[in-house]
Amino acid sequence: MGIITKRSSKKVRANEILIRLKRLYPDATCSLDYETPVQLLVAVILSAQCTDERVNMVTPKLFARFPDAIALANADLDELMELVHSTGFYRNKAKNIRSACETIVRDFEGKVPNTMDSLLKLAGVARKTANVVLAHAYGINAGVTVDTHVKRLTKRLGLTKFEEPLKVERDLMGLLPQRDWENWSIRIIYHGRAICNARKPACDRCELADLCPSAPKASI
């Protein structure tokens, strides 16, 4: 294969970027703290419009009080809202968590389902949440998790022209090997935090700059 540049095809660039991201962030993993699939599900629901750090401050007390789906399904809503208050949008989050766990107890024998279709039946669960749960709780790459970092960097890297997460996800699923769908998401999130900041990306320090059509020529 010849030299890969920002003019190479999307698929070639995407896979070279993935190789570099794996090298740059070899130990990258889900930054939410959890012990069980239902705890991961709850943590991901809480992470909407909230930092993972804040979620990790909230969940120890929450899970000590309500450790599993049965406990959460029977939780007092006011108490649940109080426990998750600092994550923002706490009313909707508390309602969704309890409703989702009611469904898990009623329809799935108290266990978080391991298929996309079943997860999407749960309150507060869209594809992003389902992808995280499937990948990290069950080792299933059903899609590409697209959060704000993934969407922003994928577009900056010229791998999609879309803003809608579902369309971004479809583009990435066509560019990357399925086994690496979650590898991409986790590592691009780390890169977004460390280098490719929303307001002021550090292109001069970015090891992807030569593959990025958004990077200024001076950084290459």
Residues marked active site are found at 128, 147
DSSP secondary structure code for residue 24 in this structure: H
Contact 16, 4 (CB under 8 A): yes
Q: Are 173 and 167 in contact (CB under 8 A)?
A: no
Three-state helix/strand/coil letters over 99-138: HHHHHHHHHCCCCCCCCHHHHCCCCCCCHHHHHHHHHHHH
CB-CB contact of 153 with 18 (8 Å): no
The position carrying tokens 């923002």 is 88
